[in-house]
Amino acid sequence: MSLLVQKFGGTSVGDADRIRAVADHIARTRRNGDDVVVVVSAMGKTTDDLLRLAGDVSQAQPPRELDMLLTAGERVSMALLVMALADQGVDAVSFTGSQAGIITDSTHTKAKIVEVRGDRLRDAMQADRVPVVAGFQGVSVERDITTLGRGGSDTTAVALAAALGADVCEIYTDVSGVFSADPRIVPEARRLGRVSFEEMLDIAASGGRVLALRSVEFARNHRVPLHVRSSFTWEPGTWIVEEDAAMEQAVVTAVTHDTSEAKVTVTGVPDRPGIAATLFRALADRHVNVDTIVQNVSAHGATDISFTVPRDDLAHSLDVAGALLPEIGAAEVQSDDDIAKVSLVGAGMRTHPGVSATMFETLAAHDINIEMISTSAIRISCVVRAGRVEEAVRALHQAFELGP
């Protein structure tokens, strides 16, 4: 008998039929003799709809109230799912994030989990009931309702799996796993059978939208095996596990792309110690997640610094940088939101030189200009014009022979 955490994303519980299908699957899991803790997202596009509504009534949108609003979405799904389970003869009980004991810091709209208590979930399981938990939410140390950032239900699921010592955390979604590229752009993209936590981290960080980045970090740190699979076909999907010698070590595992970032450039920055520190500390204090950073060689003692930020953070990144201009003695702040990032990820890159060269040659052959480059041990990313990114993904997928 295993303990499974099963998380169902928005499309998996998108309407009444889908909710009944999910209830049926949970009932079958129980009949197999496994224990299960369920985590649900808000139905379909509910979170987007609620955000739009907030935008229609308010410019200010106090973050505390935004969180209060958005958490309603997951409440709807959890209650409906428990009702559908009742019809299947499964004794289940719903819990908000707060009731489940998911304690977070106080950073509204992107809170971090600091502790998972889970007592009520353990009690429910003791009583042979299936806990159904609202994803994406918690309660802060100051007792306010918080959310974990978009896609946060994945993080809820992994955090619960870690806290409860689950054997696996199953992430049910509308795709059948993690692919060698986005199948909507590259039809011959392959489903990957097994991916290491490290690779998945870089895939998620560079635009692979299947799993929220934070959830992968959590899974790696707590060694929770993840299984990403479809709630439409119910077939086995992609396992995300610890890297082991038996794993097929492709040089490149996947091509990812990200169109959600924008570029900020601060020009005429004096070239002296402490300037970058001042700028990026100020951005960090405003919780902006800066990605690729490029600083040019200085000419006449001044240089340009460019960096990318999530497009949602562009406006206040520009405010932060703009406000610092006098202090750091820079000339001006420019922005460009017509960029995209294309990346190659693969654990084999550690030991195979030449991957960047082939990547750059491939882009050059397509006359795609590279504007920024960044690398990690197992990833190379290039920022290009947004309009060219799909062509870049297809070209790289072919150049590295990632198809079947």
Task: Give the footprint of ligand ASP on this chain (CB under 6 A).
Answer: 9-10, 41-42, 47, 73, 135-136, 150-154
Does residue 256 interact with Mg ion by CB under 5 A? no
Window of 37-45, 167-175, 179-187, 372-380 that interacts with Mg ion by CB under 5 A: 37-45
Residue with Cβ nearer ligand ASP (237 or 346):
237
Asked whether position 137 contacts Mg ion by CB under 5 A, the answer is no
Distance CA 73, CA 53 (A): 13
Q: CA angle, corner 218, sides to 262 and 49, nearest 5?
A: 50
Closest to ligand ASP by CB, 41 vs 98, is 41
C-alpha distances (whole Å) from 377 to each of 197, 230, 346, 350, 355 are 14, 31, 9, 6, 12
Cα dihedral across residues 115, 119, 120, 121: positive or negative: positive
Q: Which is nearer to Mg ion, 41 or 256 (CB)?
A: 41
**Separation of CA 342 from chain center:** 16
* 41 counts as binding Mg ion under rule CB under 5 A: yes
Task: Please choose, out of 3-11, 85-93, 96-104, 311-319, the segment that lies near Mg ion by the rule CB under 5 A.
Answer: 3-11
94 phi and psi angles, rounded to 5 deg: -95, 150
Q: Are 215 and 209 in contact (CB under 8 A)?
A: no
Region near Mg ion per CB under 5 A, out of 38-46, 200-208, 261-269, 340-348: 38-46
Q: Which amino acid is located at 129 in the chain?
A: R
> Using the rule CB under 5 A, is 9 a contact of Mg ion?
yes
| CB of 8 vs Mg ion, minimal distance in Å | 10
Count the Cβ atoms, other than its own, within 10 Å of residue 366: 14
In the sheet where 137-140 sits, what is the strand order? 113-116, 102-104, 137-140, 145-147
Smallest gap from residue 45 Cβ to Mg ion (A): 10
Out of Mg ion, ligand ASP, none, what residue 191 binds, judged by CB under 5 to 8 A for its kind, is none
Please tell me whether residue 207 binds Mg ion under the rule CB under 5 A: no
14 belongs to the binding site for Mg ion (CB under 5 A)? no
Cβ-in-10-Å burial (0-12, 13-18, 19+) of 235 comes to: exposed
Shortest CB 216 distance to ligand ASP, Å: 14
Q: Taking CB within 5 to 8 Å according to partner kind, which of Mg ion, ligand ASP, none is near residue 215?
A: none
Task: Decide whether 18 or 263 has the Cβ nearer to ligand ASP.
Answer: 18
The distance of closest approach from Cβ of residue 214 to ligand ASP in the complex, given in angstroms and rounded to an integer, is 11
Q: How far is the CB of 397 from ligand ASP (least distance, A)?
A: 28
Q: Which is nearer to Mg ion, 9 or 73 (CB)?
A: 9
Q: Give the pairing of strands 130-134 and 254-258.
A: unpaired
Of 133, 113, 98, whose CA–CA distance to 6 is shortest? 133
Nearest approach in angstroms of CB 294 to Mg ion is: 32
Smallest separation, CB 195 to ligand ASP (Å): 20
**Cα–chain center distance at 366:** 30
Q: Is the Cβ–Cβ distance between 377 and 350 less than 8 Å? A: yes
Rank residues 118 and 151 by Cβ distance to ligand ASP and give the closer one.
151
Burial category of 111 from C-beta neighbours within 10 Å (exposed 0-12, middle 13-18, buried 19 and up) = buried
Q: Which one of ligand ASP, Mg ion, none interacts with residue 112, CB within 5 to 8 A by kind? A: none
Give the Cα separation of 14 and 36 in Å (integer).
21
Question: Binding to Mg ion by residue 10, rule CB under 5 A?
Answer: yes
Residue whose CB is less far from ligand ASP, 149 or 268:
149
Q: How far is the CB of 93 from ligand ASP (least distance, A)?
A: 21
| Residue nearer to Mg ion on the CB measure, 8 or 179 | 8
* Residues near Mg ion (CB under 5 A): 9-10, 41
